[in-house]
A and B are shown apart, each in its own frame.
Chain A
Amino acid sequence: MSDLAAAGQSVPAQTAFRVLVVEDDPDMAKLLALMITQQGMEAQIVCDGAGAIAAVGDSPPDLVLLDVLLPDMNGFDICRRLKADPATALVPVVLVTGLEDRDSRVLGIEAGADDFLQKPVRREELLARVNTLRRLHETRRELEARRLAAEVEHAEALQRAFSRYVSPRLTARIMGGAAGDAPFKTQAERTDVVALFADLRGFTRITETIGVHNVVDMLNEYFSVLTEAAYQHEGTIFNMAGDSLLVGFNVPFTQRDAAARAWWTATEMVSRFAPVSAEWRARHGVDTGVGIGMARGEAIIGNIGSPHFMSYTIIGDTVNTAARLMQMAQADEVLLSGALYESIRPLLPADRVRTRGEVALRGKSAAIPVYSVKL
């Protein structure tokens, strides 16, 4: 057992250490195989080079004991071939040879042999060499298992972090690498977005009349419903403060149908929240609803903040407009900027659309056309 295994670390279940014995003399092959199997290892015998290459190709062994003089090929060539193939390059090869000259040893080293065993073979020497390579092999396998486990743990931690902001499907895209480096860009960039702000109507009355513990539970229920709606249409949640939620579309990845997704999210938020609102009315006697403001245009997206606290978010005029529209929206009403309205007009229920005319929004110099959809 290696030190790593002895330290009680979790390692994958060990299968028997497999040794391929490549030897054309049947007595020598049987002797080597017997010594190997007596140590609890598995031994497979092949008697020529072609058999060796086929056996390694079928299932790479953990070690090859390779005779140098074989009827069809020499052991140096076989060793060179195994070491040149990435699939078998790490399989240790011990050249078993009766050749005593220095040139043969050099040839073996050049061919990539990991060790040499001189014929006649001494049992103690054979086992010492094989066991050394076995320990190396086991340690390497344990380290590889740990590296893989660490990679999985890292990926899961990243996935947990991303899933706080983006839908499971977008998280999967990020983790799968299909999204490139978009969410990791350190420099902010200007891009076209659809911003959706949602806010809980009747919240002030809730905080005045209901105990604080209940308020937290109710807010969690409300945010759960809205988050599920946003994730259903692959929106990215950028901010959750008080009782309002900011969801962005077309960020961090391009969504050709970003405006439609925002609209579907808005209707989903209202319809999902309706039964929750009805239950609150029955239980607490409060009237609640979701007010939504949406706008389309340019925004700045990036990691914004200080070295101590940073937030991946969107800012700019479009976001401010959506926020102002949300403030104006009644319960179960969606207010849309003119630009957004024009891009999704065919999707909207015509009988519920009303124009609010040109509206001067607080903090903005020019009035903008605003449309209302009562859901």
Chain B
Amino acid sequence: MGDDAYTVKIAKDLADLIPGYLNNRRKELESLRTALAAGDFEQLRQLGHRMRGVGNSYGFERITSLGKEIEEGAKSGDKDSLATHIAAYGDYLSKVQIAYE
């Protein structure tokens, strides 16, 4: 992914909510990793479902698309796919940049 792919334009009036939001996403990432290690597909499905809803609601399209992949992977029990997308989520969260507008 190029640098632009990690830059997200967010409405200025949401600025106060973003630090807490991203903090919760990092906790979510840990929960995903724990659930994957435990093979807890139901937990993975729920977390993916939540990512889908909350991602693009704030403007993070990538979180929504990754959430969809994780939810689908959990439903089908595809561990490899889950591992790939959880890793991609970690990569995204470590690089994402916010541009307020």
Contacts and interface: CB of A to CB of B under 8 A. Distances in A.
A120 B14 contact: no
Interface in A237-287: none
A151 interface: no
For chain B, the bracket of interface size reads 10 to 19
Interface string B2-24: 00000000010110010011001
Interface stretch (A24-32, A48-56, A305-313, A357-365): A24-32
A165 B57 CA distance: 69
A38 B57 CA distance: 16
- Best-surrounded residue of A26, A31, A98, A122 (most CB of chain B within 10 A): A98
Interface residues of A, number: 15
B88 to A, nearest CB: 18
A38 B13 contact: yes
Q: Is the interface of B mostly helix, strand, loop or mixed?
A: helix
A120 B55 contact: yes
A119 B21 contact: no
Given A27-B17, A31-B14, A34-B14, A119 B58 contact: no
A25 B14 contact: no
A84 to B, nearest CB: 28
B14 to A, nearest CB: 7
B17 A120 contact: no
Contacts of A216: none
A69 interface: yes
Contacts of A28: 53-54, 57
A122 B64 CA distance: 13
B52 A119 contact: yes
Given A25-B53, A120-B53, 18 more contacts: A25-B50, A27-B17, A27-B24, A28-B54, A30-B17, A31-B14, A31-B54, A31-B57, A31-B58, A34-B17, A69-B49, A98-B52, A98-B53, A119-B57, A120-B64, A121-B53, A121-B57, A122-B57
Interface of A: 25-28, 30-31, 34, 38, 69, 98, 119-123
